[in-house]
Amino acid sequence: MGQTISEKIISNHVGKKVYAGELVISKVDGAMASDTTGPLTIKAFKEMGGEKVFDPKKCALIIDHAAPSPNERIANLHKMMRDFAKEQGMRLFEIGEGICHQVMVENEYVKPGDIFIGADSHTPTYGALNAFACGVGSTDLAATMMTGKIWLKVPQTIQINCSGKLKEGVTAKDLILFLVGKVTVSGATYQAIEFTGEAFEGMSLASRMTIANMSSEMGAKTGIVHPKGLKLDYDFKAVIPDEDANYVKTFDFDVSGLEPQVSAPESPDNVHNISKYEGTKIDYAFIGTCCNGRLEDLDIAAEILRGKKIHPNVRMVIAPASQSVLLDAIGNGTMSTLIEAGASLITSGCGPCVGTHQGVPADGEVVISAANRNFRGRMGNPNSNIYLGAPSTVAASALEGHITNPKKYLL
């Protein structure tokens, strides 16, 4: 019987052929926690009798969710993480080094065919790399760091096939927003997603990360982009599904006519063509996050804002996904273009996306954000509204002061 990508990767790790529905205990190739989940992970690790992590080279801690520390309480939690990393001989990614998912990919903690467990819900991002990556909570992660294993139910797989090429000016973010709207926030719960078809084949690694990242917005356990067309700096053996693999459901979309998409408050699946919301006044524009804080995202914003100033009633925050992205954006001039246009640069990391600091919106304010979530209160104020769009849409909207189709600035 044929296997999906997830079934193949898990089979390779447990030493026998397994299929959807089977319970397995699998070895893992990597594990990480952030400063939201790390302190509880460390506490649980010690309580469960953990002494040494299973492999310090395969485990990492990242300070990205509230970095640098906004208060003494969080400063002490960060210290706890630094102390634990030192004691274990594992790497701790410091404030400003970047968002957990970005630095795990940049530093090759995860590679094609791997099983990676992260204490962050956007861990499926590594599906861009043809890996089986799964988000868990702190105690699960502590157990993985201690044993090098995880228990899993082999997931059923939903195939999402997108034929056609995206139009000029329409990006991976527009495509994944469209798909989240169709599949809904609970449409893939407990299941894996395989993204396949022409629309993904020409995509950069960064765009594939944007796609896989929002698998979690459909409730998926993991979301893997078919490796056809994937280019990496190193040689790798791709895992591809068998032709007779069994899919629980298949979606087919021709996306060649897709327009820019916007997700309206207060659920990521409340997605419509941008035309429905064009003209909605905004106060605040944000580009960053594990979804859209990479160089191509900053570059497209710079292309729109070059030589212009953002609207006087709008403030704009930029949080590069990593230090490496920031350096590249300085090197190619993108960063000065954005700052000259009026944007404010903050530390590489999660920034205001998790509502802890660095740009909490005021009551009644409207945000256009390149992030992946717009739940009520997400950015720290339950009395604000968050619209999600592509970095291009965020930049065009910052320029005009209201939600704007970026097409006219890109064609």
Partner 1 sequence: MAVKTNIKAKAHVYGNHIDTDRIIPGKYTKTLDLSTLANHVLEDLDPEFNKIVAQGDILVAGINFGCGSSREQAPLALKQAGISVVIARDFARIFFRNAINIGLPVLEISDHQIQKGAKLDVDLKNGIVKDLTANISYEATKLPDIMIAILNEGGLVNYLKKNGNYSL
Which CB sits closer to partner 1, 17 or 190?
190
CB atoms within 10 A of CB 49: 7
Least distance CB 325 / partner 1 (angstroms): 23
Q: 13 near 118, Cβ under 8 Å?
A: no
Q: Cα 185–179–410 angle (5° rounding)?
A: 130
Which CB sits closer to partner 1, 1 or 23?
23
Of residues 27 through 56, those in contact with partner 1 by CB under 8 A are 35-37, 39-40, 43-44, 47-49
CB atoms within 10 A of CB 164: 14
Please name the residue that has the structure tokens 């506490």: 43
Name the segment binding partner 1 (CB under 8 A); options: 116-124, 235-243, 328-336, 393-401. 116-124
Instruction: Report the distance separating Cα 43 and Cα 396, nearest Å.
Output: 45
Instruction: Report the distance separating Cα 410 and Cα 281, nearest Å.
Output: 21
Interface mask toward partner 1 for 256-295; x: CB under 8 A: -----------x----------------------------
Name the segment binding partner 1 (CB under 8 A); options: 238-246, 298-306, 336-344, 372-380. 372-380
Which CB sits closer to partner 1, 112 or 268?
268
Q: What would the two tokens of residue 304 be?
A: 């729109």
Which CB sits closer to partner 1, 337 or 356?
356
Least distance CB 121 / partner 1 (angstroms): 4
Name the segment binding partner 1 (CB under 8 A); options: 132-140, 166-174, 301-309, 335-343. 132-140
The answer to whether 249 contacts partner 1 (rule: CB under 8 A) is no
5, 28, 59, 66: which one binds partner 1 (CB under 8 A): 66
The answer to whether 2 contacts partner 1 (rule: CB under 8 A) is no
The answer to whether 146 contacts partner 1 (rule: CB under 8 A) is yes
The answer to whether 362 contacts partner 1 (rule: CB under 8 A) is no
The answer to whether 136 contacts partner 1 (rule: CB under 8 A) is yes
Least distance CB 134 / partner 1 (angstroms): 9
Residues in touch with partner 1 (CB under 8 A): 23-25, 35-37, 39-40, 43-44, 47-49, 65-66, 73-74, 77, 119-121, 123, 135-140, 142-143, 146-147, 149, 151, 153, 185-186, 189-190, 219, 221, 267, 354-356, 373, 375-378, 380, 382
